[in-house]
Amino acid sequence: MDCTVEQRGDLAIIGVRGDLQATTVDHFQATVDRLLGAGTRYYVIDLAELGGLDSAGLAALIRLYKRVRLGTGDVCLAQVPSPVQRLLDLTRLSRVFETFPTVAEAAAALEAPD
């Protein structure tokens, strides 16, 4: 699993490549921790190249959401693969995470003034 990060001021776009699961989630978590430590408040998680997602990967996304929402930030998902969308629907997390068909749309939603 590999993460790419594009920083746009207070917005980070994290691209996840490969599987986000128990054996790889530490790398994702370290990336998120570094960004949170730097004060980043808004996150787009680009799942276009996500290979697989297990409960540990899902927990990492939820943990990020909870940590960001305790402050004044937000997290959304972009380019969510169909199997992951079904998982989000099944777990009712589709009510928690706002999803967008493209990274540009997700970024625009977070960059728009409240």
Cβ-contact 36, 66 below 8 angstroms = no
Considering its fold, how many domains does the chain have in total?
1
For the chain, percent of residues with pLDDT exceeding 90? 91
> Above 60 in pLDDT, residue 60?
yes
> pLDDT of 8-58, one tens digit each?
999 999 999 999 999 999 999 999 999 999 999 999 999 999 999 999 999
Judged by phi (left if over 0) then psi (alpha if -120 to 50, else beta), residue 103 lies in alpha
For residue 64, the domain's CATH number is: 3.30.750.24
> Above 60 in pLDDT, residue 113?
no
Provide the residue range defining the domain that includes 89.
2-111
Say what the pLDDT of residue 112 is.
64
Say what the pLDDT of residue 70 is.
83
Beta bridge partners of 100: 78
